[in-house]
Amino acid sequence: MNTGSRVAGDQKLIQIIDAALADAKRRSGDWLACRKGCTQCCVGVFPINELDAERLQRGLTALAARDPGRAKAVRARAGKAVARLSAEFPGDPRTGLLGTTREQRRRFKSFGNEEPCPALDPVLGTCDLYESRPMTCRTFGPPLRVEGGLGVCELCYQGCSDEEIAACEIIPDSDDLESRLLREVRRSTGRRGDTIVAFALAA
């Protein structure tokens, strides 16, 4: 699979995820509080995989072509975030790869919880790389199956019963296209390991 085919595959994946989200939104109605300007989920670091990182980097390149000033601001925010986070980074700050030991995973749980995403416009409260955002961002909000049950945004589904929440579950990528694309990214680029948004955008 060449780069063009992989990008096409990623676009297909995005369409699948966005369709699943649209269906979950339809079932959720007003219970889903997510809307423009709500940025709670844009604060705090989270792991992203190699496919997410590649998509973000393509998005930043595209942004630089159509709006160099915004792209420069994103890069600047990413660079400042890396500088703030490097000293305590639970991994290798030279590569931006998160560590995989038990101790490093434990440290990550309390790492960077107050750090805003570099893609977040601090004035407008919107994402400058919205079309290229990671899968975690795309699926956050509606109930999503995670280890231990259904995960859901704490601002959403207020007063709902467990049954009502379960009826709104998002089931993204049931054919696991993401895993196939991720294996191809690793094979063709040699990249291996999770990172965070700041390091992906500062690279």
Query: Is pLDDT at 6 greater than 90 in this prediction?
Result: no
**pLDDT score, position 104:** 97
Per-residue pLDDT, 34: 84
Q: What is residue 131's predicted lDDT score, i.e. its pLDDT? A: 96
What pLDDT was estimated at residue 148?
Answer: 75
pLDDT in tens, 118-164: 999 999 999 999 999 999 999 998 999 887 788 888 889 999 999 99
Dihedral sign from CA coordinates of 180, 53, 99, 108: negative
- pLDDT tens profile 15-26: 999 999 999 999
Show the domain range for 114. 3-202
93-103 pLDDT, tens digit each: 999 999 999 99
Rounded average pLDDT over 62-83: 98
Number of domains the chain contains: 1
Return d(Cα 121, Cα 110) in angstroms, integer. Answer: 24
Is 1 a residue whose pLDDT tops 80?
no
Q: Which of the pair, 111 or 145, is modelled with greater confidence?
A: 111
**Planar angle of CA 201, 80, 42, nearest 5 degrees:** 65
Provide the pLDDT for residue 201.
98
Query: Could you tell me the two tokens for 175?
Result: 């054919």
The per-residue pLDDT of the chain, averaged, comes to: 94
Q: How big is the chain by its Cα radius of gyration, in Å?
A: 17
Q: Is the dihedral of CA 39, 45, 51, 56 positive or negative?
A: positive
Most confidently modeled range among 26-35, 45-54, 139-148: 45-54
User: What predicted TM-score, i.e. pTM, was given to this entire model?
Assistant: 0.90
Average pLDDT over residues 38-59: 95
Q: Is the model's pLDDT at 117 over the cut of 80?
A: yes
Task: Reply yes or no on whether the pLDDT at 3 is more than 90.
Answer: no
